[in-house]
Amino acid sequence: MDLGGFSMFDLFQTEVQQHCACLSDGLIALEQNSSDPKMVEPLMRAAHSVKGAARIINLDVAVGLAHSMEECLVRIQRGTETPTASRIDELLRGSDILRSLADHKTEEEARAWLQQEALPLAALAEALNQPPKAGSSAPAPIAAAPIAPTPTPAPIAPAPIAPAPVAPPAVAPAPTATVPPKAATPAPASQGASGGQDAAVLVSSSSLERLLQLSGESLVEARRLESIRRTLTRAKVAQRQLSDALDSLQLNGRKAGEAMNAVSVSRDALEDALRQVEDHLRRGEELASALHNEAVSSRMRPFGDACGGLSRSVRDVARTLGKEVRLVLAGEHVPVDREILRQLEAPLGHLVRNAIDHGIESPDERVAVGKPRQATLRVEARHHAGSLIVEVREDGRGIDRANLRARIVSKKLSAPEIVETLGDAELFDFLFLPGFSTAATVTDISGRGVGLDVVQSMAHSVGGSIAVRSSPAGTSFAMRLPVTLSVVRAAVISIAGETYALALSRLERIDRIARSDLKTVEGRLTTVIRGETVGLVHAMEILELKSTSQTDHAEELSVVSVLAGARTVGFVVDSFLGEEDLVVRRLDGRFGDIAHVDAASIRENGDLLLILDAEDLVQSALQLLEQGKLRGDEGRSTSSKRKQRRVLVVEDSITVREVERQMLLRAGYAVDTAVDGMDGWNAVQKMKYDLVVSDVDMPRMNGIELVRKIRADRRYEMLPIVIVSYKDREEDRLAGLEAGASAYLTKGSFQDQSFLQTISDLIGAAV
């Protein structure tokens, strides 16, 4: 049987994933609205479809479990059984088990897993056939204890398998999370033909990428005809001028007639060619645009696909913590690039758990302050100004700033007098540090300080950002991401006479600023935009381009503002040339990492256009604003005065970075700083350093990757590198040393002077 290159197990995986998603969401909705029997019908169909799919590939244990779930749902629909919390727990556990089958890479792995877990699966199937227990069951994970492998059971009929029953332990009832019923009962995918939904098909990712690339190229080629049309238009105008000139020459005889006839023929030919080109251009661009839009659409998926497990997660976490939470999903049909959507699932889970654990109060606390007993947690997606905004917002107590400041001081991340002066923007930045947590104790839900770090890393990896807002009415985490990674809506700008592009998803606004509105604050160029003081940096300085008279003498400056966390950085450019949809083309890996350049594209006229890396530009700009000058200029001026050891500090925490910089400056070393591994690598290539100090956990390029990259370049084989990290485990230290670090220190070394002693041992005194 030709399955289009996919195995039967591939099809089984896709079908089970769809039906188990329906089961999970529908069961949670059923728990909150058990009086509506219509809610049970799609769940019965989903369990029945999974049973049929498992029977086709002879996964008999799964068939028995799905059948028991289906029979249980039939009893609920008929009213002979009530969907208690304990029964919903068992059904959800069964859905999880069936869903886990689809997570195995091969059919052989799935069969081996089923064989190993045959006894607990059979016990769950038997429990579903028994009357529900009072209270709620605590779902024990499969394979909690070693289980001897058993032979694969023989194929069974719909009758359930029945080994000795093993009842899950009962616990006292706990408050549950609720979700709106309308959003939690999607129809199974099997209804595609009759329910008016589009049928799903399997397409290999490589085929989809090629289709997208070819559609983009066809769109560019179709639009190139516009330049041919303009050429013919110019020829038509020139021909008309020639005809008028011949008329004015007052020629006589046969020669004049021949000339006029030739002009007439050429005019008709030009008009006919121009008409055909215009028709071809219009039709070709329509077809190419339609093809490209369809290709892009095939890469897009609704935001709701990333939210399939949120309702279950909210329910489980809320019950564990004894809280009552209502989940509200908005923008479920907003289209999102499938790659961004895939990367969104983990950050969304972290943000939701963080909101319930840290932000939302207990029901009694909420009642005491006049809030509803049940909290509201809202997860929303929307398109705004060419970007995708994903926001997680709750109506809890808000971030305790005093507690946050105390945690920063207790972890020795900054001095108390500095912490007290920090505004919300700088204060909330500490939440995203690796290993940082405001929780007093470590639990299964939170306290290890890895969640928000993952969220920020994901946002940065796709060229986005994240902002935090908090008040006594609640806290919001808003991620600003590109809508798609294959096509980008970009601002086209001119810098030092060259044309570049910047993704609109990273731009805050574009302004024309009069020179009279510019101010100099502590040697830094600034202006006020919408009531906010914004630091300005000439983009040509960041890109190391020669200035032009256009920017030197212009009465107004074109400023492109880019959001950097909670701060805004303004880049002065020559001019703003408009907006374009650009087909992103990644640079060949043989070019390596090019500073400040993310990708390239081909414009409609066939010209190459570089798409700048906004994150890289921002980090370089922030360093320029902090130092008041370019790193290279500072290095040249210092080296001309005295031979001084120069150290590069690579650290994403502004506080830790400043601590290390001040310690080295007081010891007499010249110090440059970089805000992450990518910025550090760019700095190493621009300036000669005697030593590099690097953190480990950083966005874009971590410290281990930076060490390996430096060591892979023969120019820097002997450059001393010191890793300074919060991680003090032996395996972390060995990983750093194996990568090529000269020394590995923990951040506690700041207190015992071993940090400075290690620097001195490696490169000697500062002068």
**pLDDT at site 474:** 92
E-state strands within 127-233: 136-137, 170-171
> pLDDT at residue 150 above 60?
no
Overall average pLDDT of the 125-135 stretch? 76
**pLDDT at site 85:** 83
Rounded Cα–Cα distance for residues 138 and 27 (Å): 17
Contact 724, 741 (CB under 8 A): no
| pLDDT tens figures, 419-436 | 888 888 778 888 887 767
Higher-confidence residue of 454 and 75: namely: 75
Q: Which range scores top for mean pLDDT: 240-249, 563-572, 695-704?
A: 695-704
> pLDDT at residue 479 above 80?
yes
User: Which of 388, 385, 391 lies closest to 338, judged by CA?
Assistant: 388
Average the pLDDT over each of 64-78, 294-308, 656-670 and give the range with the smallest value: 294-308
**pLDDT at site 577:** 86
User: Which of 323, 388, 389, 390 lies closest to 353, judged by CA?
Assistant: 323
Q: What is the mean pLDDT of the chain?
A: 75
Beta-carbon neighbour count of residue 575 at 10 Å?
A: 15
Rounded Cα–Cα distance for residues 431 and 470 (Å): 13
Confidence of residue 204 (pLDDT cuts 50, 70, 90): low
| pLDDT tens figures, 583-595 | 777 776 667 667 7
The widest CA-to-CA distance across the chain, in whole angstroms, is 116
Contact 505, 598 (CB under 8 A): no
> pLDDT at residue 73 above 50?
yes
Torsion of CA 185, 186, 191, 192, to 10 degrees: 170
Structure tokens, 636:
């040249």
> pLDDT at residue 154 above 50?
no
Higher-confidence residue of 413 and 712: namely: 712
| pLDDT tens figures, 454-467 | 788 788 777 677 88
Exposure class string for 104-139: b at 16+ Cβ within 10 A, else e: beebeebbebbebbbebbbbbbbbbbeebbebbbeb
Angle 65-68-69 from CA coordinates, rounded to 5°: 90
**pLDDT at site 224:** 64
Range list of H helices, 372-502: 401-410, 416-419, 424-429, 451-461
Concatenated DSSP letters for 519-530?
EEETTEEEEEET
Contacts of 560 (CB under 8 A, 6+ apart): 491, 493, 502, 507, 510, 539, 570, 571, 573, 576
Confidence of residue 35 (pLDDT cuts 50, 70, 90): low
| pLDDT tens figures, 260-284 | 677 777 777 777 777 777 777 777 7
User: How far does Cα 523 stand from its chain's mean position?
Assistant: 36
Higher-confidence residue of 474 and 35: namely: 474
> pLDDT at residue 511 above 90?
no
User: How far does Cα 387 stand from its chain's mean position?
Assistant: 12
Confidence of residue 565 (pLDDT cuts 50, 70, 90): low
Rounded Cα–Cα distance for residues 681 and 673 (Å): 11
| DSSP at 201 | -
**pLDDT at site 138:** 41
**pLDDT at site 6:** 54
Percent of the chain with pLDDT over 70: 73
Overall average pLDDT of the 491-515 stretch? 84
| pLDDT tens figures, 630-670 | 333 333 333 344 468 899 999 877 777 877 888 888 888 88
pTM for the structure as a whole:
0.51
Q: What are phi and psi of 172, to 5 degrees?
A: -70, 150
